[in-house]
Structure 1
């Protein structure tokens, strides 16, 4: 098919025909479902484990992680000796979920450990020499950093100088050959780690740490007079971190998330239960609940409120405290949405004013006063809108510094380019990974950064744009979009990076009853010549070519994801529209499997 309204080509997700047939025969699957499984790289002997992921089959040996055994020894020794400990975590969901796991294990062993979360604005990301000195002065002998610390060279060197032991539990990329000093540094992405678990979020690494802690405590006979902590009860926290940190749901991480969502569905964690009640979550927990209802509220404290609220919520056993914290986070999340929308509107206006987005391979947009807590979200929204890498910079005029956050697209390594810009002297600090980056910069160097990124990423962006394809799992009709189809493909869940949620296309459907809703969303009904009808919604689409085409009505090819629609007990489905194309300008070659 030719280019769509979002500028993409459409194609059936590629799958080898022989592998599709083997999945059909071995697993008893329909052809479209077997094709979807094959297209996700699942081999002929891996289908059963993929469809039914278990920790028993995929849990790694904790000892395969560099320094994991040492970390367990240090922490259990500190527990036995009663050494004053502090859990230090990042201010996002992954950090909070990681911290809550360690705190809960220590609590089960009879020790209450305080949590320290740095303030995003005043302290920035990760530990610093100043914070470590302060913790040491207040009596801490051991600090456990979670979801941060692996790159905090100055802070860890300071800790060594002042006699403060530090155990680092992290998952962020590290520079080759750079392993800062620590009592133990556990990170599946450290250069000399051979665990093969680099896709894990910090919460996943923390869960493996709990297994190592149980093993070490068992070795020392600490369970002779007390029950061994049942780690399965905290799988919900590991899954929450995996989903909200947008990690690849493959291998062990997929099993961890699948089983964690089952545990989450019991809503035994008082903090998650309180958030679920506020968010009106019902039924089994899904990646959608974790990523779009629970996660944003937990993150809200670190973005515009008190940074420790999320970790406290996930760590508490007191339902009343959980309810109060959840209400506070919900209120902050509402404020965050308003701030985010204001920044997004201003950023779009700046870009549209000089049409800079039309030809620039990388968009860099800045303004005074944009809060650091929302610029990453805004960068992601702009990347969705303009389909190219975006860096958003909030400038603090009083301090003379801009804080920036960037989001990229497959095939364009933004983190490497930002790191190179730092090495070139353009930035005060900068780094990240392929799809996201953070930086700080003097305001007068922002034009230099814009030019540098355009030169560094122009060719890659051109290739990525040419290859920007919407890969479809099946061609359906409005009548065929029912709960049976939805539940069949749900066997592939949990969905996320590495296991994309199925995308379906409907050909030449009529757009009926288009309604623009508050927030820029558009609701329509899709109908076909056979009388089939399917409700659909396009989120935040009103000001885009896609939204304008939907509002105009007519006949379109439409692609999207299916969602349950249980309004008034109807047990139906609706489509979340991802893209559309005009049949008059693009011939639907979509052939693809019909479900």
Structure 2
């Protein structure tokens, strides 16, 4: 059935060349024979076999894919450039009794990385003074002054986490000041690395580990394995207990999910195993955060990315940047409850601020989009927009306009701090790096899908023009071929609890292992209602009258939302993800609407 549907009108799935959201529907490529063999081997629906085959799974590894193990995926730490050197340097400092400084980025990846280090070193009696920069006042990454402030506290060595790969001046100042710095980072690098005691980054040019998909939390976890190996080699643990780094998998998983890195290879194992550790609630901070958010185990990547992550990030966005690392590293239940409560409050404030900024940025973007010179990239700027929410606002503009967006908050004095998000096929970070080299930006860089920058207010118009000109061809090509990949065509009767539970076993889902999207053909919108301001709750019926409950998030003012609310008797094809909805002991399947197409 799916193969026939896919062959309609030159490969468009169900004949959908242009959906209501403007996408062409395409069936994800899979080996149909393998899909059937996988389904038989797992005693599962063919739809699951197709999902796995489309992700490169063959029948002989299907069972293992559903149960990834850390042992099977863990890389040799020595394959990372400078890993053994960095582990030896920190082992030297441990043998001296410390203290060892930690410089951490203000986001979840930085906080979860710092907490792993603190939790490893604390039982060894090593003090860990920590420095987390203020996002608004100091911006990203270390300065020479901030690193040397840790030296002034007695630290002979400092470990930076989720930053440092581009901190040439700061690391040079630290070295000149007699401070050894071990960098644990994962951001893209070019050319010679900065001066450091060790630069551990799978994305440095000369690193042969093949683990460039790791988040900093994953790099930190592997570093701790190397450090433990080095300390064992020195017989350090004779007469003392060795910290259990496996107990830190919840933190490694948290950073991995929240930094949106590909969930393949060791990342997939970290998240799968880490979710189990997270669900055991051994971390006082995560337990308190779950209680304040009204969440309960079992936990999965959804909780890491949408429940824990935004709350931890709220401290760095609009509050105290150190709150996340403090929460994740404390063993004091009362302190954890207090910090979790503060993060809950800050997250509510962040949501309100984000909404206001998105509304203002959307008005500015609307004026650009309807102009005669419709830009390839949306650039919106405003006075007083907090740097902690501009990235979130940029993401919302990408969702709305389907093209890259950069949002800049302008501070007193005329300096703007901005964040950008891109679309598949458009290298936004590379373009911003080029414009920085041309002197148009005070600073800037990132990767293909996301970037940060600082810019003088008076340079924003020229930057907007130059960025759109630089990326025009890439954006045109990307938007011309915008498509939605679907995994299988099923009926509402097949969207049952058994299928959803089997699909969940194919997770964790994220970049590199996308959440499956199912197609449903020839449905009637039986009910639709706007809920929660921007969402639409709906129900679909097939020709036999069987219903499929659904929710469409943040679509009320988009073409998809308008179609749902005004469908009348017209019939639609539906693209949706299937989710398990549990409430008051009741379990049912909900369809999360991804797209619609008129029949």
Q: TM-score range by the shorter chain?
A: over 0.9
Pairing 1:118-197 to 2, within 5 Å after superposition? 118-175=133-190, 177-197=191-211
1:414 counterpart (408, 428, 446) = 428
Q: Residue deviations 1:110-156, cap 9 Å, x none?
A: 22312211100111111012212333334332111000011100000
Q: 1:534: Cα distance to partner?
A: 1.6
In the alignment, structure 1 residue 230 sits paired with structure 2 residue 244: yes
Distance 1:32 1:232 in 2: 34
Give SS of 2:540's match. Answer: strand
- Paired residue for 1:33, among 35, 39, 48? 48
Greater RCO (Cα-Cα under 8 Å, separation 6 or more): 1
Which residue is 1:575 aligned to?
591
Q: What is the SS of the residue equivalent to 2:510?
A: coil
What are the within-5 Å matches in structure 2 for residues 542-581 of structure 1? 542-554=556-568, 555-581=571-597
**Partners of 2:368 and 2:138 in 1: how far apart?**
36
> How far 1:216 sits from its partner (Å)?
1.0
- Are 1:255 and 2:292 an aligned pair? no
SS of aligned partner of 2:492: coil
Cα distance per residue 1:217-262 (max 9 Å; x no partner): 1111122111222211110000000000001000111111111111
1:14-68 deviations in Å (ceiling 9; x for gaps) = 1123432443455544321111111112245433332110011111111111111
> Which stretch shows the higher mean deviation, 105-114 or 267-276?
105-114
Query: What secondary structure is seen at the aligned counterpart in 2 of 1:372?
Result: coil
**Does residue 1:448 correspond to 2:458, yes or no?**
no
| 1:356-413 deviations in Å (ceiling 9; x for gaps) | 48942211111111110000011011111111110111112x2211111100011100
Match of 2:375 in 1: 360
2:467 & 2:173 partners in 1: Cα distance? 34
Please report how far the alpha carbon of residue 334 of structure 1 lies from its aligned counterpart in structure 2 after TM superposition.
0.2
Aligned match of 2:543 in 502, 526, 529?
529
Match of 2:223 among 209, 222, 231: 209
Q: Could you tell me how far apart the structure 2 residues matched to 1:263 and 1:484 are?
A: 25
1:287 aligns with 2:298: no
Indicate if the aligned counterparts of 1:477 and 1:532 stay in contact, CA closer than 8 A: no
**Residues 553, 19 of structure 1: alpha-carbon distance in 2 compared, 3 angstrom cutoff:** same
The change in CA–CA distance for 1:308 and 1:550 in structure 2 (over 3 A counts) is same
**Corresponding residue for residue 398 of structure 2:** 383
| CA deviation after TM superposition for structure 1 residue 85, in Å | 1.7
Distance, in Å, in 2 between the alignment partners of 1:354 and 1:10 is 29
Which residue in the other structure is 2:11 paired with?
Answer: none
Distance 1:93 1:144 in 2: 17
2:319 alignment partner in structure 1: 305
Which shows bigger deviation, 91-100 or 535-544? Answer: 535-544
Q: Is the 8 A contact 1:357 1:386 kept in 2?
A: no
Distance 1:462 1:326, change over 3 A: same
| Mapping 1:397-408, distance limit 5 Å | 398-408=412-422
> After superposition, what is the alpha-carbon deviation per residue over 1:479-537, rounded to whole angstroms, capped at 9, x for unaligned?
32211110121121100000000111222222233211233111111112212112111
**Runs of 5+ unmatched residues, structure 2:** 1-15
- Which residue pairs with 1:591 in the alignment? none
For the pair 1:514 / 2:524, whether they are aligned, the reply is: no
Distance 1:357 1:155, change over 3 A: farther
Q: Which moved more, 1:191-200 or 1:530-539?
A: 530-539
1:316 counterpart (325, 330, 339)? 330
- Name segments (4+ residues, structure 1) moved above 4 Å: 25-29
TM value normalised by structure 2: 0.94
- Please state whether the residue corresponding to 2:29 is helix, strand or coil: coil
Cα distance per residue 1:295-353 (max 9 Å; x no partner): 00000000000000000000000111101100000000000000000000111112224
* 2: CA distance, partners of 1:448 / 1:464: 24
Contact 1:412 1:460 in 2 (8 A): yes
Tell me how large the CA RMSD over aligned residues is: 1.5
Instruction: Give the conservation status (yes or no) of the 8 Å contact 1:357–1:363.
Output: no
1:188/1:196 contact within 8 Å kept: yes
Contact kept, 8 Å, 2:103 with 2:158, in 1: the verdict is: yes
CA distance in 2, matches of 1:357, 1:572: 46
Cα shift readout 1:425-458 (whole Å, capped 9, x = no counterpart) = 2111111000001111111211211111212111
2:342 counterpart residue number = 328
Q: Distance in 2 between matches of 1:101 and 1:467?
A: 42
CA contact (8 A) 1:142 1:164 kept: yes
How far does residue 354 in structure 1 lie from its aligned partner after superposition? Answer: 5.0
